[in-house]
A and B are shown apart, each in its own frame.
Chain A
Amino acid sequence: AQKVTQAQTEISVVEKEDVTLDCVYETRDTTYYLFWYKQPPSGELVFLIRRNSFDEQNEISGRYSWNFQKSTSSFNFTITASQVVDSAVYFCALSDTGNQFYFGTGTSLTVIP
């Protein structure tokens, strides 16, 4: 069965600290896609990244970076030099060969000024 686990329910950091959000997934498919989404306090959902299972290259986008490791079934998300605007709930998700999506329960990040 497909499953996404975000063990960190809530994280608080002080502004400018680095923070890593963990995501562990389970799937028997060899082809799958992993996603991260951001949901700020205003409620909208923002797509951050999509990664396919054959591409283990880490990705960096500004202060955001993602570490995909198939060996540990993890797709972790790091925010460098966090800012107050990064405060949000972050969701990790898995899409399988059946095109279904499975979401983690989300990690609520609070960045304290």
Chain B
Amino acid sequence: DSGVTQTPKHLITATGQRVTLRCSPRSGDLSVYWYQQSLDQGLQFLIQYYNGEERAKGNILERFSAQQFPDLHSELNLSSLELGDSALYFCASSGDPYRGPNQPQHFGDGTRLSIL
């Protein structure tokens, strides 16, 4: 058990809809990362938050947004969903990765999103 909780585990919805994926980081971890894994695009970094502030942005579409709340949980919002958004979305957490060597990232089990 990594200590990172992602909900829901599976989500099936239709094109044009909006969904929210939730991530609770491991206790004590301040950083949250979101990744997308699809057959077409492989594993892609979407966005990172540290203690409520956006720290880095990767290949995140404008239709997607995220935030980290004061209790450090994070939500990834996906809107105007397209078939190509079907993927496995992972959340990971870590301490401040740039304070010391080998800060491990702890991954959740992922949310599998299927767009019909």
Q: Which residues on A are within 8 Å of B, measured CB to CB?
A: 33, 35, 43-47, 49-52, 55, 91, 93, 98-103, 105-106
Assess whether A47 is in contact with B45, with CB atoms less than 8 Å apart. Answer: no
Would A91 and B103 be within 8 Å (CB), given that A44-B109, A45-B90, A99-B55 are in contact? no
> How many B residues face the partner with a CB closer than 8 A?
25
Please report the C-alpha to C-alpha distance between residue A52 and residue B90 in the assembled complex, in whole angstroms: 23
Checking B33, B88, B103, B109 against A50 with a beta-carbon cut-off of 8 angstroms, the contacting residue is B103
Determine if B104 is an interface residue (Cβ-Cβ < 8 Å): yes
Please report the C-alpha to C-alpha distance between residue A27 and residue B91 in the assembled complex, in whole angstroms: 25
Assess whether A55 is in contact with B101, with CB atoms less than 8 Å apart. Answer: yes
Please report the C-alpha to C-alpha distance between residue A46 and residue B102 in the assembled complex, in whole angstroms: 14
Interface hits, B27-57 → A, CB 8 Å: 33, 35, 42-45, 48, 55-57
Most buried by A among B43, B56, B92, B102: B43
Checking B45, B103, B107 against A45 with a beta-carbon cut-off of 8 angstroms, the contacting residue is B107
Please report the C-alpha to C-alpha distance between residue A101 and residue B97 in the assembled complex, in whole angstroms: 13
Which chain B residue lies CB-closest to A96? Answer: B56
Assess whether B58 is in contact with A44, with CB atoms less than 8 Å apart. Answer: no
Would A45 and B48 be within 8 Å (CB), given that A91-B43, A99-B56, A100-B58 are in contact? no
Please report the C-alpha to C-alpha distance between residue A100 and residue B45 in the assembled complex, in whole angstroms: 7
Assess whether B42 is in contact with A100, with CB atoms less than 8 Å apart. Answer: no
Assess whether A44 is in contact with B110, with CB atoms less than 8 Å apart. Answer: yes
